[in-house]
Amino acid sequence: MTTIRVRTHLDSTTVEIPELDSMVGKDVEIVVKEVPKCHPDVQAFLDASKNLPPDMDFDALAKMVNELREISTI
C-alpha cells in the first residue's frame, strides 16, 4: 500500500496534488487535517522539504544527520 503525505497551505477548494498522479484510477482514502501553527524555523524546514526529490534516500539522510549531531557535541 502506498501512502503520500503532503503538507501545504490550502488556498482554495480546488486542490491539485501532483504526487497523486500514480494513484489516479485507484481506490484511495483522502484525509484532510488542519496542522497547528509551528515555530517559523520549523516552518522554513517543512517548506524546504517540499522540494526534496521523490527518490531521496532517507536512510542516508538520517545517517548524515546523526553524524552531524555527533560532531556538533564534541
Residues 14-71: tens digit of each pLDDT: 888 888 888 899 998 888 888 788 888 888 887 887 777 778 888 888 898 888 888 8
Predicted pLDDT of residue 74: 64
Distances (CA, A) of 28 to 4, 20, 24, 31, 42: 11, 10, 9, 10, 30
> Domain boundaries in the chain?
18-72
The residue with cell 552531524 is: 68
Kindly report whether the global pTM for this prediction surpasses the value 0.75: no
**CA angle at 16 for the pair 14 and 19, rounded to the nearest 5°:** 155
Residue type, 48: A
Cα 29–chain centre separation: 18
